[in-house]
Structure 1
Amino acid sequence: MSETADVWTQHDNSDKNVRAGAQMRQYQHIADRIAADLPGGKVLDWGCGFGQVSNQLLLRGLDVTSYDYEPGDPSVQPLELYPHISVHHSSEPVALPFEDGQFEAVLSCGVLEHVPDPPGSLAELRRILRPGGTLYVYNLANRRSYLERLAKLMGMYYHGKFPNDRVYTLPEARTLLTDNGFRVQEIRRANMLPLTALTGGLGQRLAGIIWAANQFLARIPGLNQFATNVELVAVPAT
């Protein structure tokens, strides 16, 4: 696979994110937040993957457009796991096939850290947002994550393994957005536990406990410096 074709598929894209109960709790949490902010709003799920977050947003009554990078000709196709959702595919790594000001919100969940041109992508996201629209950034890789360091030591995938991977501290994440036309309203560290570690029945039974512990630990000052992710909520600066 060429470097261009590999833009958004360098990371682990197995369906364990869908099968792990605790991880699904995070996706539900994300959907709850966006639905509370703009009920019935028009949202772009940028880099939707399997479509699990798109589905959660739809269940909450949002008007969702799903988009993902895919080598080949542009297309609109049903998702394999969620066939009631049609995803817009494009092989263009930066430009998006949407009109200016088309969306009230854009969700980036585990995407921004993988794109080859973050400033270019952020300019596109700003373009397609309506005035006063909101960019939600979840699962941006934290430079100091203890789980990333463990994964590297164990020979597993970690952010930074491939050329387009990027990791961020809290100040670096803020600077990335503010230098590219956004005003950051919220920024925090999140996710202290490996949410995808347990799948199947056991993972489902323990999902609530794991998710609650994960949220509690991420609120502890000092300890949360080593959280897995950075989260941001931002609006266009002008």
Structure 2
Amino acid sequence: MYALLLFQLLALLTTGCGTNYDERDESPHPKNSLQLVGELKTGRAAHAAVLLENGKVLVTGGFGQDQKALDSAELFDPGSKTFAQASDMNTARSGHTATLLHDGRVLIAGGFNVSYLDSAEIYDPETAQFKPTSRMTVARNGHTATVLDDGRVLLVGGTSTGWSFLADAEIFDPKTDTFYKTGNMTAARVKFIVFSPYFHSPSHADNAGFALASMNRKLSVLTQPTVADPLTGVYQTQEKLPRDLETST
């Protein structure tokens, strides 16, 4: 089930770093191959893309050919395979996260624009507008943001001022639109994977937590995953990934 979930999350592959910052995009072919589709309105890298409840994909920020962060956003329509310009974000950013909330809104958090950002904003599909929300407890870039079963969002790790690697974590509460600190990870991590389906793993039916794996700290690979309990904010290092995750990814 995990391989299937990762395939669904990567259903739209938007162009990343390249010599010419190609604006073309790729999406899955019915036979699990890739085919070219419509062009992005703006060539970009280090952007974020999230699938909305209406089936469209919101693409935000990143940086352009001039290496400057972008505040622009666009919407990909899988029906017509075309991109349309969306309203601009309030802050230009790259390396941020875009997370679909249970109420259909999208949380845009952190990133980089000359300096590391602690700002966040909310995209509302009903108004098609971005609105600033409260600031994160720590400026961060290259972090992850994972929706918990109760609708809150866990933001962990990343890099911050001075290219420092972060072990700390925080939670966004969509009911109050505020961030607050939670327990720290056992190691500082950036560019890692969060296996949120761990919540629903048959061999972990007690809903104990989720696994963090494939992380690196100061350019060295961390081979030991961490299992966290979002209810208590406690992280525990494991010798290896749970067997069901090892065999399914």
- Both proteins in one fold, TM over 0.5: no
Which fold has the larger relative contact order, with Cα–Cα distance below 8 Å and residues 6 or more apart in sequence? Answer: 1
Give the TM-score taking structure 2 as reference length.
Answer: 0.31
- Structure 1 or 2: more helix by fraction: 1
TM-score (norm 1): 0.32
